[in-house]
Structure 1
């Protein structure tokens, strides 16, 4: 006896839409983080945001993430950075400025526990203040 064939689920479905948002570049070099630290900064309940206009003519938006040991052990720091990465992925392509670098810094006991919509509002508020 042969098993029944699986129903054809591909009929009538469309492939997922390709995002038109620009991909975020990642800051990896210490010098980029230090340059952002010398630039504008805005603190919120859930994070600190540092931002600078690079002025190199490259329209890419770059972002970096950091959490010190004050945030907690490795598990807490990784959770905080995952949440910061997701907030940046959702908001920076629309609200960030081309040619800018952003560094998102986690806060102790706030970044990991803060409600996700509140964390998004924190980044929106910080970007609005930084770009004003």
Structure 2
């Protein structure tokens, strides 16, 4: 679970990160990496739309992504804002596939 200080919750931060941040995509995910305020810790936000599936499927995908994102907080720059958008293929993907896609996209967006 992500702690409260590491959660991205306000819509303005989501919007600005998606519009102005660096982007990387895969079959199951699209990542957007932006910068936050200078002293803020890294924050992560998830976007899992109804296109992914019903509420049970969406919540399962969110749990898996939160778990994976928590492991990558240390590799994010100081005040980074990361938005992870799940694509419909994430519904059928295993946890290992989501982890591989998240790793790959994060490496691309950080380089």
TM-score (normalised: structure 2): 0.86
- CA-based RMSD: 1.8
Q: Tell me, which stretches of 5 or more residues in structure 2 are unaligned?
A: none
Q: What pairs up with 1:29-108 in 2 under 5 angstroms?
A: 29-38=10-19, 39-54=21-36, 56-90=37-71, 92-108=72-88
**8 Å Cα contact 1:65-1:103 kept in structure 2:** yes
Give every structure 1 segment of 4 or more consecutive aligned residues whose post-TM-superposition deviation is greater than 3 Å. none
Matches of 1:72 and 1:118, distance apart in 2: 18
Gaps of 5+ in 1: 1-21
Displacement, 1:34? 0.2
Higher RCO structure, 1 or 2 (CA under 8 Å, sep 6+): 2
Deviation, 1:99, is: 0.8
- Quick one: distance in 1 between partners of 2:64 and 2:110? 23
1:121 to 91, 94, 100: 100
How many residues are treated as equivalent by the alignment? Answer: 108
Q: Distance in 2 between matches of 1:98 and 1:85?
A: 19
**The structure with more radius of gyration:** 1
Shift of 1:50: 0.9
Q: How far 1:59 moved relative to its partner?
A: 4.7
Q: Which residue of 2 aligns with 1:130?
A: 109
Alignment correspondent of 1:112: 91
Q: Deviations over 1:33-75 (max 9, x none)?
A: 1011112111112211111022x21151100011111111111
Tell me, in whole angstroms, the C-alpha distance in 2 between the residues paired with 1:24 and 1:94: 14
